[in-house]
Structure 1
Amino acid sequence: MGIWLNFGISIPVVLPGSLILTIFHGFIPNRNMCLARNLKEVFFLISRKQSLYIYLSQFFSAVAFAIRFFPFLLILELFMLVIILLKNKKNLPHFFIASFFIPLIYLVSHISFFIYHPQLSLFLRHKIWMLSWFRGTPVLPGNLLRNIITGRLYDTRGLLTANKEWSPLQPIIFLLALLPLRLSFNLFILYLITFIYFLYVLLLTDGVAKFIMPVFPFLAVLAIKNISIIYSIIRIWIVLKLKPLRIK
């Protein structure tokens, strides 16, 4: 499932890199995490072609939010709203209608809670407690970069520990993904999503591996895109160097 997810993600961005990405996929840790959130952004990237994709995007946003209560998803919703206002206002009514998926699916996913506690006030009290619990999560600014580049990070006790899920491929993909080569609108949106997410987890989390994985498939897509561009440039340079000079 994870392989086809990454293949689907790369189609709107860089089709030639899709097949290459599936090869690298086996070396990426935790490759099946955050399926719903990634699908949400895939459909949003291609939503300018058909409004149906807005509904699919919001549906998977609701599923992702129901699976894990992650406040960053709300920030991402605001970001998507701004993009629609700037680039495709005709989809604005569809966006607002599809946004009802989020509270609907979230409540349906907690149906067992209402069976045993049939009071909305108790449910809201529980969610307020979850927010307070999330705010109590240790924050270690900058720990994320150390984790990505070296595979080591500081824990809540201030001790330097090893990330067992780290591999040398992570910093390579991260650095390759940072190259802003041949930006299109979809790639620009993808870079913005990645930047906003990393700024969030860099400053407001402790930088453990679980916070890297939601955006890692997109980093892989951007890295493969840049590899394909670099390869095409090198190939053209080699062809020009080997091409014999014309004698007048």
Structure 2
Amino acid sequence: MCLARNLKEVFFLISRKQSLYIYLSQFFSAVAFAIRFFPFLLILELFMLVIILLKNKKNLPHFFIASFFIPLIYLVSHISFFIYHPQLSLFLRHKIWMLSWFRGTPVLPGNLLRNIITGRLYDTRGLLTANKEWSPLQPIIFLLALLPLRLSFNLFILYLITFIYFLYVLLLTDGVAKFIMPVFPFLAVLAIKNISIIYSIIRIWIVLKLKPLRIK
């Protein structure tokens, strides 16, 4: 699901210059939905629609047409269900049950931030446990990525998607590290971009400091 969702966002950014890429974006959105329904995907679809309305209205018809990929691929991916239960009502009841089950997952607001910064988090029993996959690089990458330095339009959209997603998983999940994985590639891109900016600023400062003063 992570790869499909990331490809969806990449093709969405490219679609600003070439409308046909919106179809690839929605195709991978459909794949992400089919692999596993995650409520944030609906928020992402709404976010994309708002961006199109504000900045790229010519893509609006393409967006709506391409959106039919989502129910189509979702239903096709569940063809085995319909073989044994050939009733749409049963399928809908099954999905409603799945949503109810998902809503029953423990929510520990702020637990993810503790996990990222310290490598420790509370489990569902309320016990503080260690994240064995944690690395000191994780909080560094995370903090660097969230610095809004010199963002182009595409990077600004990427930044917003990452930030909104982080708020979602921070407040509405149990804080397990797997929830940050879908945007980790984007965090890395933003962090590297910010490192290059910080380096250029420091380099200019050093050059100015070492530059000999002119004596009049």
Shorter-chain TM-score tier: over 0.9
What are the Cα deviations for residues 65-95 of structure 1, in whole angstroms up to 9, with x where unaligned?
Answer: 1111111101100010000000000100000
Residue in structure 2 matched with residue 8 of structure 1 by the alignment: none
Computed over aligned residues only, the root mean square deviation of the Cα atoms, in angstroms, reads: 1.3
- In structure 1, distance between residues paired with 2:54 and 2:36: 30
Report the more deviating stretch, 137-146 or 109-118.
109-118
Report the more deviating stretch, 132-141 or 237-246.
237-246
Deviation at 1:247, TM superposition (A): 5.7
Report the more deviating stretch, 87-96 or 195-204.
195-204
Deviation at 1:236, TM superposition (A): 2.2
| TM-score normalised by structure 2 residue count | 0.95
Residue in structure 2 matched with residue 162 of structure 1 by the alignment: 130
- In structure 1, distance between residues paired with 2:125 and 2:74: 35
3-state SS of 1:233 partner: helix
What are the Cα deviations for residues 28-78 of structure 1, in whole angstroms up to 9, with x where unaligned?
Answer: xxxxx7111011101111211000111111111111111111111011000
Query: Gaps spanning 5+ residues in structure 1: where?
Result: 1-32
Pairing 1:81-96 to 2, within 5 Å after superposition: 81-96=49-64
| TM-score normalised by structure 1 residue count | 0.83
Deviation at 1:238, TM superposition (A): 2.8
Report the more deviating stretch, 168-177 or 114-123.
114-123
- In structure 2, distance between residues paired with 1:236 and 1:65: 47
- In structure 2, distance between residues paired with 1:140 and 1:175: 21
3-state SS of 1:167 partner: coil
What are the Cα deviations for residues 128-152 of structure 1, in whole angstroms up to 9, with x where unaligned?
Answer: 0100000000011111100110111
Q: 2:158 aligns with which of 190, 194, 200?
A: 190
Deviation at 1:245, TM superposition (A): 4.5
3-state SS of 1:206 partner: coil
Deviation at 1:117, TM superposition (A): 1.4
Residue in structure 1 matched with residue 82 of structure 2 by the alignment: 114
Query: Gaps spanning 5+ residues in structure 2: where?
Result: none
- In structure 1, distance between residues paired with 2:153 and 2:176: 31
3-state SS of 1:50 partner: coil
- Contact 2:112/2:170 (<8 A) preserved: yes
- In structure 2, distance between residues paired with 1:216 and 1:245: 45
- In structure 2, distance between residues paired with 1:219 and 1:192: 11
1:62 corresponds to 2:54: no
Deviation at 1:246, TM superposition (A): 5.0
- In structure 2, distance between residues paired with 1:87 and 1:53: 16
- In structure 2, distance between residues paired with 1:156 and 1:246: 66
Give identity over the alignment, percent: 100
- In structure 1, distance between residues paired with 2:176 and 2:113: 10
Deviation at 1:235, TM superposition (A): 2.1
Report the more deviating stretch, 188-197 or 231-240.
231-240
Deviation at 1:243, TM superposition (A): 3.8
